[in-house]
Chain A
């Protein structure tokens, strides 16, 4: 309410309606993506699926299409660039669960990425003295190990809030990197060569998933991203997702609503860590070589930048953010040295003009199904519908939120 409105003590229904109109008008002006979002939500389900199918097919075709201008060649191999973009996108989707959904600022996410990469490397590389298992088995193992680390880190630190949590996670990121340096079994800078790869050979007998061929790795990672997105989408709409939204908006209020805040924060941390470990394992497989030089704090910040750039809390935004952060230095090799400067400026500009990121999170109705969305968008278009929109019982059955069984 602005001060020029004068005193309006009890909002009568007329002034309240005006207030709603002002708010909705203001909101529409803020997001330039809103028309697209409305259009998308007004499409029928089959149309949405058809559109998604086209996007997915295009995404799979990306390394083969090698579109001119967009391509990173001749500076960098295009399929490898696609793979890098996919890995960053996957990392951003995982970090988005922690930062975007649950609102926990994690500055040491690279640690989970590193744990995943080292798990894959130490279980497959001939340089490693440990038990060797087929590469594809290391992927679930890496996820399990990083989730375990997520819980181990989460239990003592998630009692902290905001800035304190950020500092502790920052420290954790460094601890993992330094441990890789000082523990002899982790081989410091020497690292692990010849990390394993998925099975399969080409016609000429060379391995399908070779270090120089990015395309199969890209397809594998893209498939993983799609699976993770489907799971994340389900989580978002579940009871867990609603709890995360509540925790992000007001932790104390969530607790006194009966949300086991601590438990759900640890869950967010563990799930985010698992996705981080998964991407680390894929990364280690493609690169084929892992040492302690690749997991510095700057990478953590870059991961976070990807999430913030895309719009914390929006999984599609996270994918775009991750892909952009990976793409720019590989495409514009001449300015790659200045990538941190460029990202810094980009983030500052973003914070000034679009503080919620490229694709802002849907704050409201996150937890509710499509029927509710349709009801609401119908009622905001024609105001009378809002007044007597729902049946008199106030809680029609189709409006009930989805609850996962516990």
Chain B
């Protein structure tokens, strides 16, 4: 079943076209990776799906409903939640307060309590650091917090923008293991990455983005063995 579908979406920054005529779909239960170099339009795609940017053309559908014109904060309530690039946590708030902000649009107390438990069991570190200010935590911990906070909205589609950015290699592995775990618990995941190796290995399907258009598509394994992708993104030729 199609959860999210972009049809012929174009996004402009002023007169510069960041995304050109992009179409792709995410099926329920999948992990889908978008990989590409700097400036390929990865973050723009994410912001367009979460509603921070408006497309100049095209439509976005979520669970069959046209959400192209829907405000970002309403999309969260509908089930699209994002862990933004550069983590975007609230530096002055504690871990607990950050997580609580993630559930801002929710009213079901019991479901929220269950999601707090879920986040703390996925990231035991956050449970230990409940009262620490977000801004004083390490990069890896902030990334955990950003993902945990996004999960607090009980999303059906979780958008992860460069979860590995600035993290130590062993920690990247750990984050991707947790992403897989979140997916196995039933959350569909769309993730954007420069770390193509990990992103492709973990993904059910993947797209390669170059200057605002999708140039390759396939399963994660197909793209991992695709010579062109290998050369450009995996550092082997």
Interface residues of A (CB under 8 A from B): 1, 9-11, 13, 16, 19-20, 23, 239, 242-243, 245-246, 249-250, 252-261, 363-365, 367-368, 375-376, 379-380, 386-387, 389-390, 393-395, 399-401
Residues of B near A23 (CB, < 8 A) are 133, 136
Cross-chain pair count, CB within 8 angstroms: 123
Q: How far is the CA of A239 from the CA of B107 in the complex (A)?
A: 12
Residues B97 and A258 in contact, CB atoms below 8 Å apart: no
* 25 intermolecular pairs with C-beta atoms under 8 Å apart: A9-B170, A11-B138, A19-B136, A20-B132, A246-B93, A246-B101, A246-B104, A252-B52, A252-B88, A253-B88, A253-B90, A255-B72, A256-B51, A256-B76, A257-B101, A257-B104, A257-B149, A258-B73, A363-B92, A367-B97, A368-B97, A375-B131, A394-B120, A395-B112, A399-B96
Interface centre among A11, A261, A387 (most CB of B within 10 A): A11
Q: What residues of A have a CB within 8 angstroms of the CB of B93 in the complex? A: 245-246, 249, 363-364
- Which of these, B90, B106, B168, contacts A246 with CB under 8 Å? B90
Q: Select one of A9, A239, A258, A394 contacting B77, CB under 8 A.
A: A258
A258 to B132, CA, bound (A): 23
Chain A CB count within 10 A is highest, among B88, B101, B140, for B101
What's the least CB distance linking B113 to chain A, in Å?
5
Q: A10-B170, A399-B96 are in contact. Are A256 and B50 (CB under 8 A)?
A: yes
- Verify B140–A11 contact, CB threshold 8 A: yes
Q: Which residue of A lies closest to B118 (CB)?
A: A394
CA distance A259 to B112 in the complex (A): 17
CB-nearest residue of chain A relative to B100? A401
Q: Decide yes or no whether B116 CB sits under 8 A from chain A.
A: yes
Contact of A20 among B76, B89, B90, B136 (CB under 8 A): B136
Chain B interface (Cβ < 8 Å from any Cβ of A): 50-52, 71-73, 76-77, 81-82, 84, 88-94, 96-97, 100-102, 104-106, 109, 112-113, 116-117, 120, 127-128, 130-133, 136, 138, 140-141, 149, 153, 168, 170-171
Contacts of B133 in A (CB 8 A): 23, 363-364
Nearest-Cβ distance from residue B163 to partner chain A, whole angstroms: 15
In the complex the two chains form, is A395's CB within 8 Å of B116's CB? yes
Among B50, B138, B141, B170: residue with most chain A CB under 10 A: B138
B90 in complex: contacting residue of A245, A255, A380, CB < 8 Å: A245
19 additional A-B pairs beyond A253-B89, A257-B73, A258-B106, beta carbons within 8 Å, are A9-B171, A11-B138, A245-B92, A246-B93, A246-B104, A253-B84, A253-B90, A256-B88, A258-B73, A258-B76, A258-B104, A259-B73, A261-B73, A367-B97, A368-B97, A386-B128, A389-B131, A393-B117, A394-B127
Given A249-B90, A253-B89, A256-B76, verify A9-B116 contact (CB < 8 Å): no
CB contacts (< 8 Å) of A395 on chain B: these are: 112-113, 116-117
> B84 contacts which chain A residues (CB < 8 A)?
252-253, 256
Cα A81 to Cα B52 with chains together (Å): 49
A390 to B130: give the CA distance in the assembly, Å. 9
B160 to chain A, nearest CB (A): 12
Q: Which residues of B contact A239 (CB under 8 A)?
A: 104
A19–B105 Cα gap in the complex (Å)? Answer: 33
- Cβ of A405 to closest chain B Cβ, rounded Å: 10
A255 closest partner in B (C-beta): B72
| Chain B hits for A250, CB < 8 A | 88-91
Question: When the two chains form the complex, which single residue of B82, B89, B94, B105 contacts A364, counting CB atoms closer than 8 Å?
Answer: B94
- Inter-subunit contact B88/A258 (CB<8 Å): no
Q: Is the CB of B116 within 8 A of A11?
A: no
List the A residue with the shortest CB-CB distance to B82: A256
Write out the residue numbers on chain A whose beta carbons fall within 8 Å of the beta carbon of B90.
Answer: 245-246, 249-250, 253
Q: Whole-angstrom distance from the CB of B210 to the nearest CB of chain A?
A: 26
Contact A11 B170 (CB under 8 A): no
Query: A363 contacts which chain B residues (CB < 8 A)?
Result: 92-93, 133
Chain A hits for B82, CB < 8 A: 256
**Which chain B residue lies CB-closest to A379?**
B131
Q: Which of A239, A245, A250 has the most chain B CB atoms closer than 10 A to its own CB?
A: A250
Beta-carbon nearest neighbor of A365 in chain B: B94
* Nearest B residue (CB) for A262: B71
Q: A23-B136, A401-B100 are in contact. Are A258 and B105 (CB under 8 A)?
A: yes
Contact between A380 and B131, CB atoms less than 8 A apart: yes
Say which residue of A19, A364, A387, A394 sits within 8 Å of B92 (CB atoms): A364
